[in-house]
Amino acid sequence: MMKKLTKIKAAMLCGAMAMGGTAAKAEMEYQQVSDLLHLVMSSDRTVYTRMIVNRLAVKEGVIKASEHFEDDKALVLPAQMFRFGAEMVAEETDAFSYSLLSLWPINKQNAPSTDLEKEGLEYIADNPGENFYGEEELGGVTYFTAFYPDVAVAEACTQCHNEHKDSPKTDFEGGDVMGGVVIRIPMDG
Ligand code: HEC
């Protein structure tokens, strides 16, 4: 039901593969496009958390990560890092958008706001390791919307959320699904 695939003609500019200045074109499916976008997002997110935040704030204790990073002269939180990137993308294109949501949000703005968001977040929380794909109509536009589990990949994740005063859940453990990355692509036609 949710794994409905729809074709998209995505002109992929494969710079490295472009021969003689001709851009290679490939027909990809929404799901594939979304999966590849997510791979970049989640890899960057994991690298930032493990190699910057967890190493310097949790293991070495030389600097902390804080929501008020400017006042505190601290590291930007992983979720803020993610949102700042999403905001820059939104300034550049309407071709896709993304966000980080959760059923147990510290920031209430990160709670699900559409029926599909609720369904998708519940599905990925109940089925660890699986993604969820669906379609939804918002403001007259039909979107392909994908949900990917956001997993506690470092001690910093669980420690900070469990101890945060606004966290509705205080017993996250390593490897738990803490929320989800949501990617939305408007479908044409
Ligand atoms: C130092 C504290 C800290 C660390 C480390 C941290 N988070 Fe968060 N996280 C927060 C705060 C605070 C927010 C809310 C930020 C906002 O949107 O204002 C948040 C937001 C989130 C959200 C969106 C839902 C919500 O709670 O608002 C998810 C999902 C999430 N974090 C998962 C993770 C995962 C997974 C990791 C590790 C990869 C992680 N966090 C690391 C503090 C932290």
Q: Measured between alpha carbons, how far is 12 from 24 in angstroms, rounded to an integer?
A: 6
Find out whether the beta carbon of 100 lies less than 6 Å from any atom of ligand 1: yes
Find out whether the beta carbon of 178 lies less than 6 Å from any atom of ligand 1: yes
pLDDT at 188: 77
What's the gap in Å between 21 CA and the centre of ligand 1? Answer: 43
1 or 78, higher pLDDT? 78
Band (pLDDT 50/70/90 cuts) for residue 189 is low
Using CA atoms, how far residue 75 sits from 49, 66, 106, in Å, is 11, 6, 18
Q: Measured between alpha carbons, how far is 180 from 11 in angstroms, rounded to an integer?
A: 28
Find out whether the beta carbon of 79 lies less than 6 Å from any atom of ligand 1: yes
pLDDT at 16: 35
Find out whether the beta carbon of 152 lies less than 6 Å from any atom of ligand 1: yes
What's the gap in Å between 105 CA and the centre of ligand 1? Answer: 8
Q: Is 151 left (phi over 0), alpha (psi -120 to 50) or beta?
A: beta
The amino acid at residue 7 is K
Q: Is the pLDDT of residue 105 over 60?
A: yes
pLDDT at 14: 37
Q: Measured between alpha carbons, how far is 150 from 120 in angstroms, rounded to an integer?
A: 12
Asked if 86 contacts 78 with a C-beta cutoff of 8 angstroms, the reply is no
Residue % of the chain over a pLDDT of 70: 85
Find how far residue 126's CA is from the centre of its chain: 18
Asked if 124 contacts 149 with a C-beta cutoff of 8 angstroms, the reply is yes
pLDDT at 7: 38
Find out whether the beta carbon of 153 lies less than 6 Å from any atom of ligand 1: yes
Q: Measured between alpha carbons, how far is 164 from 159 in angstroms, rounded to an integer?
A: 8
Tell me the pLDDT tens digit for each residue of 19-35: 444 332 333 589 999 99
Tell me the pLDDT tens digit for each residue of 77-100: 999 999 999 999 999 999 999 999
Look up residue 28 and give its two tokens.
Answer: 């990809």
Q: Which atom of ligand 1 is nearest to the CA of 178?
A: 29
Q: Which atom of ligand 1 is nearest to the CA of 49?
A: 38
What's the gap in Å between 11 CA and the centre of ligand 1? Answer: 34
Q: Measured between alpha carbons, how far is 69 from 118 in angstroms, rounded to an integer?
A: 30
State the average pLDDT over residues 144-161: 94
Q: Is the pLDDT of residue 178 over 80?
A: yes
